[in-house]
Amino acid sequence: MQFLSTIEASRKNQANPLKVTHRHINIFFLFSLIFVFFIFGEVDDHVRIGIAVLLAALFGVTAFLLNWLTYDGALAAAIFGVISFGIGDWQVAAIVLFFFISASLLSKDVMATEDARSIKFRRDGRQVWANGFWLCLWILIWFISENPIFLAASVTSIVAATADTWATELGNRPNTKAYLITTLKEVSAGTDGGISYKGSLSALMGSVILST
């Protein structure tokens, strides 16, 4: 029995070899970007991607110094930015910038002056890819296939992320009434499954701004 218990404990302590982390996603998109650059990119694309690399690096370093991003978050955001602008052009990059800046400014941690520059506020690579994974994937597929459906899907994904972020940040304020979506029972703001008028209107406003 002790032998079996030891085996079971060792299994629990072993990391899942199939677990995908934000660093794996960094590698995936980095190699995908290199592949697209050399195989499908033309001269104009190469110039735009080169400019995107410089701008994304500058943005990543700035966001890190402002305590908006961790080191992993800055690296993920840089790759995210290169794909958004270098592959998706400035319109997509503008949408991404609006999402990131608005999400950072609306964060409840920013609103508290004592914690405004706290490490708690910094977004990491997981949070970057939680919002940007699908946009990058659809943008790359669109660039290769030239099918506008994938471009629309990429923009839709970031619009949805913006709506969700605005609803979470603005609907989670103190003294906000929230109701469980399944039973409409009043719950505390921030409860899983809880919705509020303020959060719902914020989600609508964020999505409308990006859709116009």
Q: What is the C-alpha end-to-end distance of the chain, expressed in Å?
A: 65
Q: How much is the pLDDT for 69?
A: 87
Q: Rounded CA gap, 43 and 146, in Å? A: 17
pTM for the full model?
0.79
Contacts of 68 (CB under 8 A, 6+ apart): 104, 121, 122, 123
User: pLDDT digits over 12-52, tens only?
Assistant: 444 455 577 888 999 999 999 999 999 999 999 999 999 99
Q: Average pLDDT over the chain, rounded to whole? A: 82
Q: Rounded CA gap, 67 and 82, in Å? A: 21
User: pLDDT digits over 123-151, tens only?
Assistant: 888 989 999 999 999 999 999 999 999 99
Phi-psi region of 112 (alpha: psi -120 to 50; beta: other; left: phi over 0): beta
| 95: its two tokens | 């949408």
91 within 8 A of 151, measured Cβ to Cβ: no
Enter the DSSP assignment of 123. Answer: B
Q: How much is the pLDDT for 149?
A: 96
Domain-wise residue ranges, the chain: 20-211
User: pLDDT digits over 41-98, tens only?
Assistant: 999 999 999 999 999 999 999 989 988 889 999 999 999 999 999 999 888 999 998 9
Q: Rounded CA gap, 49 and 36, in Å? A: 11
